[in-house]
Amino acid sequence: MGKIKVYSLGIAGILAIGSYLSANPPAAGPAQKNFDAQCSSCHGKDGKGKAAMAKVFKVEPAALDLADEETLKKSEGDLVKIILGGKNKMPAFKGKMSDKDAADILTYARSLKKESK
Ligand code: HEC
């Protein structure tokens, strides 16, 4: 009997882990949440940039577009540096997020380009 008990506990454990994982998809969820919370006020939820914010910052709307060709041409390393270190009116996020968070958010922002096509 003892063996059967352990066995059924094992199955329950696996099922519990399985439903935990499917309820918490890894990369996409947190990166999207972080982007919406910390970046979309200037860059828009679609990553294309807010025209009104471009006016406030006196920059070309394209400067806020994270899905434009100029931005997509830049390497992930360079863009992560901009996110963490800032650039002109772009605030620095160093200390507010890890390098990995910044890279995940960037991957998410770049994926928006494909979705909007
Ligand atoms: C307060 C407004 C504001 C917020 C919030 C903001 N940005 Fe920016 N961001 C800017 C501005 C303005 C620029 C353009 C800087 C320039 O080129 O002069 C910029 C530029 C960038 C660039 C460089 C694009 C390029 O082609 O060089 C990246 C990448 C970027 N932002 C990512 C992010 C991410 C990721 C977040 C959230 C973690 C974020 N930004 C939050 C205002 C903001």
Three-state DSSP string of the chain: CHHHHHHHHHHHHHHHHHHHHHHCCCCHHHHHHHHHHHCHHHHCCCCCCCHHHHHHHCCCHHHHCCCCHHHHHCCHHHHHHHHHHCECCECCCECCECHHHHHHHHHHHHHHHHHCC
Average pLDDT, whole number, for the chain? 84
Ligand 1 pocket list (CB less than 6 A): 38-39, 41-43, 57, 59, 63-64, 66, 70-71, 74, 79, 82-83, 87-91, 93, 105-106, 109
Which atom of ligand 1 sits closest to the CA of residue 53? 2
Q: What percent of the chain has pLDDT over 70?
A: 73
Q: What angle do CA 91, 101, 72 make, to 5 degrees?
A: 70
Complete domains list, the chain, with CATH: 27-115 (1.10.760.10)
Q: What is the pLDDT of residue 27?
A: 44
Q: What digits encode the pLDDT tens for the residues 36-89?
A: 999 999 999 999 999 999 999 999 999 999 988 899 899 999 999 999 999 999
Give this prediction's pTM. Answer: 0.80
Please tell me the residue having the least CA distance from ligand 1 atom 25.
71
